[in-house]
Amino acid sequence: MSAPETDREHADFRQYARRWLAENRPPPPPERLPITPIEVMTTGQRDYLQAWQRQCYDAGLVGTDVPVAYGGHGHNGLQRIANQELNRAGVPFLINIIGLSMAAPTILKHGTEEQKRQFIPGCLSGEEIWCQGFSEPGAGSDLANQRTSAVRDGDDWIINGHKVWTSLGHFAKWMILITRTSKDEKYQGLTYFLCPIAGHPGVTVRPLLKITGETGFNEVFFEDVRIPDSYRLDDVGMGWSVAMTTLLSERGAAEGAGAGGGEGEKAVENLIDLARNAWRDGELAADDPVTRDAIMQRAIIAEGLRQNARRARVPALCDHPMRLPLQQKLTHSEFQQDNARLGVEIAGAHASLYKLDPRAPDAGHWPLAYLNSYGNTIAAGTNEIQRNILGERVLGLPKSK
């Protein structure tokens, strides 16, 4: 259970957010929504979710802590509370996940004044959807192995190359893009850009199909794409260091509960509801001691994630800047996977009914969530890589060969 709020401003904001969300629940979507923003496929889903993000932004629940000059609401430390309340309310997700959790924090840290004023407002309102162009066919875990090139041509840059697994690329107006500007040095040869995508000459976006049957990510091809130097983020050769800012924000956001909790509790509540309605051999799953114990174990992990998120806000308890974002990303993605696996087990044979089957429990959520959960253990850097980084850089263990 949540600890009582100590600070008056925080308590008032929480009350406001909770009341606003209760009074402004959006109407049901015109078509089924996927589980996460990175599987949004249709323009109907997109328009509905963009309108919802805009409403949350206007209400001060998005961009809460961003300075007013860049389109935010100028508070300090209230975004976390807004995120918690958004999670708890069980309302639709915010579609511009890459803009909010990666592009905006990176631009805030590395951007010029002009870039902050130009790019951040559209990220927050959801009007301009962003995607991330980091992964390539030969550069995933080995991110610095970038081949997509950017070559200077007067005041412009010419981009050529091929990105892959680009979530939301099909709706994106902008991409955060890493490119190679020098072949002489692996890390210092990288430069970071904010690159126009939709309708931009030379850019081709092709959807890829996921194990869930959904699209959502894409391949993006660049053929002599021309962009001005004003779209370069930070100095030439600083791409790796800018990318690290993005990845730390991405992993921090991928922890989910790192926003402060809410999602974990909700996930456990959903399992309890499922168990209260699932019959097996004439017995309710909720009466089975093994199932009850398994759900209790999920509740314990949810609480651990929540406490770690609280710990992340106390500088004296954060000995290494990478420890908590990476640890939470790792634990949270496996928490989601284990929850979904348990949901499938509780639903039993009914879990074979997929999302379009009207007889499927919880509208087919559990098998879909289980298949989807593999993506979370890969995206934002695979869990094997997170374990390597935690072992080597945070715990100081010897490097793996």
Ligand X SMILES: Cc1cc2nc3c(=O)[nH]c(=O)nc-3n(C[C@H](O)[C@H](O)[C@H](O)COP(=O)(O)OP(=O)(O)OC[C@H]3O[C@@H](n4cnc5c(N)ncnc54)[C@H](O)[C@@H]3O)c2cc1C
Closest distance of CB 142 from ligand X, Å: 6
Structure tokens of 292? 């009850």
Q: Is 363 in the site for ligand X (CB under 6 A)?
A: no
Q: Is 101 in the site for ligand X (CB under 6 A)?
A: no
Neighbours of 317 (CB within 10 A): 12
Q: Which residues, including other chains, have CB under 8 Å from residue 24's CB and lie 6 or more apart?
A: 55, 59
Q: Is 385 in the site for ligand X (CB under 6 A)?
A: yes
Site map 124..143 versus ligand X, x via CB under 6 A: -------xxxxx----xx--
Q: Is 256 in the site for ligand X (CB under 6 A)?
A: no
Per-residue DSSP letter, 101: I
Regarding beta strands 174-180 and 130-133, do their DSSP bridges make them parallel or antiparallel, or are they unpaired? parallel
* Choice from 45, 115, 148, 166 touching ligand X (CB under 6 A): 166
Nearer to ligand X, 272 or 390 (CB): 390
Site map 56..85 versus ligand X, x via CB under 6 A: ------------------------------
CA–chain centroid gap for 148, Å, is 24
Asked if 344 and 367 touch (Cβ cutoff 8 Å), the reply is: yes
Tell me the one-letter amino acid at 210: K
Site map 189..228 versus ligand X, x via CB under 6 A: ----------------------------x-----------
Q: How many chain residues are in contact with ligand X, going by CB under 6 A? A: 20
Closest distance of CB 326 from ligand X, Å: 14
Catalytic residues: 250
Q: By C-alpha distance, which of 347, 345, 369, 371 is closest to 359?
A: 347
CA distance 205 to 217: 10
Q: Is 167 in the site for ligand X (CB under 6 A)?
A: yes
Single out the segment in contact with ligand X by CB under 6 A; choices: 13-21, 145-153, 302-310, 374-382: 374-382
Q: By C-alpha distance, which of 374, 378, 306, 363 is closest to 340?
A: 374
Nearer to ligand X, 176 or 227 (CB): 176
Q: Which residues, including other chains, have CB under 8 Å from residue 222's CB and lie 6 or more apart?
A: 148, 159, 160, 161, 162, 163, 202, 203
Name the CA dihedral angle for 83, 84, 85, 90, rounded to a multiple of 10 degrees. 90
Closest distance of CB 184 from ligand X, Å: 24
* Choice from 200, 388, 393, 394 touching ligand X (CB under 6 A): 388
- Residue with smallest beta-carbon separation from ligand X: 140
Q: In sequence order, which ranges of 255-322 are alpha helices (DSSP H)?
A: 263-277, 289-311
The beta strand positions in 70-166, using DSSP E, are 130-133, 149-153, 156-163
Nearer to ligand X, 70 or 192 (CB): 192
Single out the segment in contact with ligand X by CB under 6 A; choices: 89-97, 164-172, 234-242, 296-304: 164-172
Neighbours of 64 (CB within 10 A): 24
Single out the segment in contact with ligand X by CB under 6 A; choices: 117-125, 299-307, 326-334, 380-388: 380-388
Site for ligand X in 32-61 (CB under 6 A): 38
Nearer to ligand X, 36 or 42 (CB): 36
Single out the segment in contact with ligand X by CB under 6 A; choices: 16-24, 258-266, 305-313, 378-386: 378-386
Nearer to ligand X, 45 or 135 (CB): 135
CA distance 265 to 259: 13
Closest distance of CB 177 from ligand X, Å: 9
Sign of CA dihedral 288, 289, 290, 295: positive
**Helix or strand or coil: residue 352?**
helix
Single out the segment in contact with ligand X by CB under 6 A; choices: 240-248, 323-331, 335-343, 379-387: 379-387
Which uninterrupted H or E stretch holds 178? Answer: strand 174-180
Q: For residue 78, is it left (φ>0), alpha (ψ between -120 and 50) or beta?
A: alpha
Q: Is 379 in the site for ligand X (CB under 6 A)?
A: yes
Closest distance of CB 383 from ligand X, Å: 7
Residues that bind ligand X (CB under 6 A): 38, 131-135, 140-141, 165-167, 217, 375, 378-379, 381-382, 384-385, 388
